[in-house]
Amino acid sequence: MRWSRYFMPTLKEEPAEAEVVSHKLMLRAGMIRKLTAGIYTYLPAGWRSLQKISEIIRNEMNRYYAIELLMPAVQPGDLWKETGRWEAYGKELLRFRDRHDRDYCIGPTHEEVITDLIRREVSSYRQLPLNLYQIQTKFRDEIRPRFGLMRGREFIMKDAYSFDRDEAGAAQSYEWMHQAYVSIFRKLGLQFRAVEADTGAIGGSISHEFMVLADTGEDIIATCTHCDFAANLEKAEVTCAGEDCPECSLPPEKVLTPGMHTVPQVAEFLKVPERKVLKTLLYVADGMAVAALVRGDRELNEVKLKNLLGVQDLEMAGQEQVEKWTGAGMGFAGPVGLKVDKIVADLELRLETDWITGANADDAHLRHVDLRRDAQINEYNDLRSITREDPCPRCQGSIRMTKGIEVGHIFRLGTKYSQAMNAVYLDEHGTEKPMIMGCYGIGVSRVLAACIEQNHDENGIIFTPAVAPFEVSIIALNPKDEMVRKHSESLYHELCSLNMDVLLDDRDERPGFKFKDCDLVGSPLQIIVGAKGIKNGVLEVKERHSGQRHELPLQDFGQHFQEVRRKVREHFGLETG
C-alpha cells in the first residue's frame, strides 16, 4: 500500500476525549474514529489489524474442531425469557419492540440463539459433539462506555458454543478450547496468562479468563511464585486456617466517636490498629437487607458476596435504608442489634475477637464485641480479596499481583441453557438427556486495544508483527529524487512478492514528519531509503520495538533483511512467516 493513496489520517496532538493509551494511539494513528459514545468506525488500518487477528483465531478454532457460522445480531426476546435472562441480564441488554409490538434485543452474546438452533436440528447422540463459532459485532449498552475499544458498547467478538453428550466430552471440548486460546495468543505475539475466573452472568461451573499482561490493565491477577495457580481478584480464594478463638472476656462498651465515619478515623481516635475495627457493609441483595463483615484493613469482594448469596442484583444500601436498619446515619453501622435479613462474615473473623464496631447510634462505636456472643451471624465464608500477604490457596507459596486486560473467557456451562430450553438428545439406549454445553469468547476488537496497551512507547504504537496493519514501512526520504523513488519502488515490489504487508511512505513531506508518523503507526520494521545511503550502497533498517538500527548492503538486501525480520519475530515469540 502507498501512503499517498491510503486513508490513514494521523493526528499530532493527543485527543482530549481519550483516557487510556490504546484509545489515544488508535485515534492518533488513524485506526478508529468515534461515531457516538462507545461506538467507533474502524478505519482501513484498524480494520486490517482486526482482520489479521480474526484470521489467526479462525485458523486455530478450525484446528481444534470448531466450525464457523454466522448468527443474527437481532434476537427475539422470547428466547431470553425462556432462560430467565430477559430481566436478569440488566440494562446492558438493548431491548426494543418491532412494528408488531414483539420484544427483541441486540445480541451481547448468543447462548439462547445457538441453543435454539441446536435443539431444532440435533436429536441423536450420533450428531454430537458439536462446536460452532462466529466472529460478529455485538452490543452491550454500557452505562459509561470508556477507554475506546476497551469498554465500548459495540464491539467485535468471537463466540463459540460446544454441545456434548456427557461431562467427559464437555471436559474434552473445554480443554481443546483452552489449548486453542493458548495457541491464538501465542501466535498474536502477546504476553498473556490464563487465570481462574468467576462465571458471572453467563453462568456455569468452571471458567478461565485469558489476560494480556499490561501495566495499564484494569484487572488484578493473583499468581503463585511456586506453583501454576493464577486467578483474577474476583475469583482468588483466601485460605483461613486456625481454630475459633475463645470468647471475649469483656462485655461490649459503648464509646463516643463524634464525626468518626471511617475505619482510619476510628482507629486513630481509639488508638487501635485498623485490623481491630470491623467494617459493616450494608447491601440490598435482590430486595433482601444484608450486612457483610470484614476486617477494617481488608477489602470486601462483592463478587464473592454475590455468589454466596446467590443473587442477581447487589447494591450498596442508601442513606434511608441505612437509617432504617441501624437507627443511625451513615458510618456507624455494626452487627450488634442490626435490623437486617442476613449477616455474613469473612472467615478470618472467627479467629479473633474483641472487635470495635459501629454502635448503630450516631457518633458512637462499641468496644469488646464478640461476634458469636453479641451478634447473629448467619454464615462465615470467604468474602474478602486476596492480598500479597496471603498464602497461595494451592501450595501455601507466595502470592504476586500483576495487572492484566481480559481478552478471552471460556466457560463450562453444563446444562444451564439446555435444560431451560429443552435442548435434549436421545442416547444409545433411547433415553432423553440434556446436552452438556460450553461457551468460549474472545473480544477481537479488545485484543487490538490490549496489544497496544502492552506494546507502546512515548512515540506511538509498537505492534507485534502478527497484528500490525503493515509489518514493514518503507520511508522514501525524498520521493522526487529519481534514485530514491526507483529503489523504494523496487524494494516495495520485492517485499510484497515475499507476502509481506508493506506500506510505502511516498508522500512529499519532510523526513522528520515521516519518521514521527512511522513510529506512531507502529510497523515493526522500518526501511529508510535516502540518496546518501544509496550512494554508499546501504539501506538503513530500524527495529521499532528496540530502536536498534542496521545498515544493510543493497546487494542481496532481501536476504539480510529477512535475518533482521526473523530476530524481530523471535522477540515477539513468533515463527518467521
What is the DSSP annotation of 8-72? Answer: ----SSPPTT--SHHHHHHHHTTSEEEEETTEEEE-HHHHHHHHHHHHHHHHHHHHTT-EE----
Q: What is the DSSP letter of 151?
A: B
Mean pLDDT of 181-199: 92
- Please give the pLDDT value at position 204: 56
The answer on 152 and 260 residing in a single domain is no
Residues with Cβ within 8 Å of residue 217, at least 6 apart in sequence: 211, 403, 404, 405, 453
* Residue 577 reports pLDDT greater than 80: no
> Is 278 a member of any domain?
yes
Q: How would you label 369-391 residue by residue, b for 16+ Cβ within 10 Å and e otherwise?
A: bbbeebbebeebbbbbbbeeebe
The answer on 172 and 312 residing in a single domain is no
Least confident range from 242-246, 333-337, 354-358, 545-549: namely 242-246
The answer on 436 and 471 residing in a single domain is no
The answer on 376 and 286 residing in a single domain is yes
Residue 478 to residue 399: CA distance in whole angstroms:
55
* Residue 205 reports pLDDT greater than 70: no
524 φ/ψ sector (left φ>0, alpha ψ -120 to 50, else beta)? alpha
Residue 119 to residue 129: CA distance in whole angstroms:
13
Span 26-59, pLDDT tens digits: 999 999 999 999 999 999 999 999 999 999 999 9
234 pLDDT band, cuts 50/70/90, is confident
Backbone angles phi, psi at 486, to 5 degrees: -65, -45
The answer on 89 and 32 residing in a single domain is yes
> Is 24 a member of any domain?
yes
Report, in angstroms and rounded to the nearest whole number, the Rg of the chain calculated over CA atoms.
29
> Is 407 a member of any domain?
no
Please give the grid coordinates belonging to residue 440.
Answer: 468460549
Residue that finishes a domain, picked among 428, 453, 478: 453
Mean pLDDT of 91-119: 97
CATH number at residue 508: 3.40.50.800
CATH number at residue 63: 3.30.930.10
| CA-to-CA dists, residue 289 to 65, 280, 292, 326, 340, angstroms | 48, 13, 10, 12, 5
Please give the grid coordinates belonging to residue 65.
Answer: 474442531
199 pLDDT band, cuts 50/70/90, is low
Mean pLDDT of 97-102: 97
Beta strands in 87-191 (DSSP E): 94-97, 103-106, 130-139, 154-164
460 φ/ψ sector (left φ>0, alpha ψ -120 to 50, else beta)? left
The answer on 299 and 327 residing in a single domain is yes
> Is 520 a member of any domain?
yes
The answer on 163 and 95 residing in a single domain is yes
Looking at the chain, the whole-number percentage of residues with pLDDT higher than 90 is 90
pTM (two decimals): 0.88
Give 412's strand partners: 206, 438
Mean pLDDT of 529-556: 95
Mean pLDDT of 87-108: 95
> Is 198 a member of any domain?
no
Residue 505 to residue 519: CA distance in whole angstroms:
12
Span 306-365, pLDDT tens digits: 999 999 889 999 999 999 999 999 999 999 999 999 999 999 999 999 999 999 999 999
The answer on 147 and 56 residing in a single domain is yes
| 214 residue type, one letter | A
The answer on 532 and 433 residing in a single domain is no
The answer on 440 and 372 residing in a single domain is no
The answer on 152 and 263 residing in a single domain is no
| Domain membership of residue 349 as a residue range | 253-381
CATH number at residue 307: 3.90.960.10
> Is 200 a member of any domain?
no
> Is 196 a member of any domain?
no
Residue that finishes a domain, picked among 405, 432, 453: 453
- Please give the pLDDT value at position 474: 97
Span 384-436, pLDDT tens digits: 999 999 999 999 999 999 999 999 999 999 999 999 999 999 999 999 999 99
Three-state DSSP state, 491: helix
The answer on 471 and 503 residing in a single domain is yes
Residue that finishes a domain, picked among 338, 366, 381: 381
> Is 260 a member of any domain?
yes
- Please give the pLDDT value at position 336: 97
